[in-house]
Each structure stands twice: as structure tokens, then as C-alpha cells.
Amino acid sequence: MGNSGLTRRNSVFFLGKQDSSSSDKNERRMTVSSRQNTLQEEEVTTTVKKSVPFPEPLTDREKQLLIETWAILEQDIASVGVITFISLFETHPDVQQVFMPFSGIELEELKQSKQLRAHALRVMAFVQKAVARLYEPDKLDALLRDLGKKHYSYGAKQNYVDLIGPQFIQAIQPSLEKHWNADTDEAWNKLFKYIAHIMKDAIATEEFYNK
């Protein structure tokens, strides 16, 4: 214990006046840098909020509808995923070109593609995680922000994030025919608007820091 205290005192004394001054300057620089980073983060958040209003939150009833209908979709989850991407590529051919493994491949061929099926399953697994976190907003937010950052690293554009929701909703309707109504439609639309909002916020933040 005594040696420990002596070492700490010697550390201070051996700095001398000049080193102490340098240390103070470094601390001031760190403080200024920290403040600048905070201001930059606030600037990014403010810019995103101004450009895109925060989506309307899901009600408890809507959350329950999502959980119930997702339980039905899980019975044929791969087919829903493949249909979602085929529809997306049909309506937005430019998006297909961004997916390098699927670029230039005919849609009829893609319908039988094991690689597309695997990718679709990964996307459906993500939706499953989102639904499982509906009552844990902090965990859901962290999940979406992490995915947004990954999409930035893939070179995905912000506007691409808005495209998957409508195609997914169109793809699931046949599987939920007996359960599909205005309330179900509203619940899934609100969920994907929230997903898109948080992901785009994360992408915008990455774009800001990597100008």
C-alpha cells in the first residue's frame, strides 16, 4: 500500500511545471473534442428529425396483432421472404443490381435460387427479432441502429430502406388472408416505418462522420 502511494506521488512530482501545464492543455483539448462530438451528434439527430418526422408509435393492441400474425407467418417464412425480394426486384430493378450475388440473374431463375432463399431467411430472422423486441424499445432501437450501420458499410442508400416494407406487406397478405384487415395493415405499416426511420437515422449518422 505504502509503495503504491509513493509511486502516485512521484508520478505527480516528476511531471514538473511544464509537464503539468501540458497535461492541463491535453485535458482541455479532450474536453473541447468531447463537446464537439456531442454537438456533431446533436446536429445529425436534429437534421434527421427535421427532414423525417418520427413515426407514430405502435399501440399495445398493434404490437399484439404483430406478434399473433407473425406466429402464423413463421409456418412458411422462407416463401414469404423469397416473394418479398422477387417483388422488390420486379418493381425496382436497380435494387437488384446492388445485390451483387443476384445482379443480372433472371427473376424466374432467382425464384429457385438457394442463395436468395438463404438471404430471405436472414431477413425474416431479423423481422422475427424485431417483433420479439416490441415491448423492449431500447433493445429494438439498438438492433435497428446496428443494422443501419451495416447497411451503410454495404453501400446501401437511405431510400432503399423504404422499399422493403411495402413489398413485405404485399407478400404476407395471402398468408394472412383470414386475419388481414385495416388494423393488421396499419400495424405492419407502422412497424416498417419505424424500422426504416431508425435505420436511416443510423445511416445518416455514419454518412456524417465519414464525409
DSSP string, 12-72: HHTTHHHHHHHHHHHHHHHHHHHHHHHHHHHHHHHHHHHHSPPPPPPPHHHHHHHHHHHHH
pTM of this prediction exceeds 0.85: no
At residue 31, the pLDDT reads 45
Q: Which residues of 30-56 are buried (b: 16+ CB within 10 A; e: fewer)?
A: eeeeeeeeeeeeeebeeebeeebeebe
At residue 45, the pLDDT reads 53
Return the amino acid letter for 159.
Answer: N
Q: Is the pLDDT of residue 30 over 80?
A: no
Local structure of 211: helix, strand or coil: coil
Choose among 136, 193, 145, 150: nearest CA to 168.
Answer: 193
**pLDDT, mean of residues 19-37:** 47
Alpha-carbon span 104 to 120, nearest angstrom:
18
Alpha-carbon span 137 to 208, nearest angstrom:
25
Alpha-carbon span 105 to 99, nearest angstrom:
11
Give CA separation, 99 vs 6, 85, 102, 119, 147, in Å.
Answer: 62, 11, 6, 10, 16
pLDDT in tens, 81-95: 999 999 999 999 988
| Per-residue confidence band for 20, with pLDDT thresholds at 50, 70 and 90 | very low
Give CA separation, 147 vs 42, 75, 112, 165, 203, in Å.
Answer: 21, 25, 27, 15, 9
At residue 127, the pLDDT reads 95
Alpha-carbon span 12 to 152, nearest angstrom:
46
Q: Lowest-pLDDT range, 19-28, 89-98, 111-120, 137-146?
A: 19-28
Alpha-carbon span 148 to 154, nearest angstrom:
10
At residue 68, the pLDDT reads 97
Q: Lowest-pLDDT range, 39-43, 60-64, 104-108?
A: 39-43
Identify the residue with better confidence: 32 or 101.
Answer: 101
Identify the residue with better confidence: 110 or 18.
Answer: 110
Local structure of 157: helix, strand or coil: coil
The torsion angle over the Cα atoms of residues 135, 136, 142 and 148, rounded to 10 degrees, is 0
| Per-residue confidence band for 6, with pLDDT thresholds at 50, 70 and 90 | very low
pLDDT in tens, 165-176: 999 999 999 999
Contact (Cβ atoms closer than 8 angstroms) between residue 205 and residue 98: no
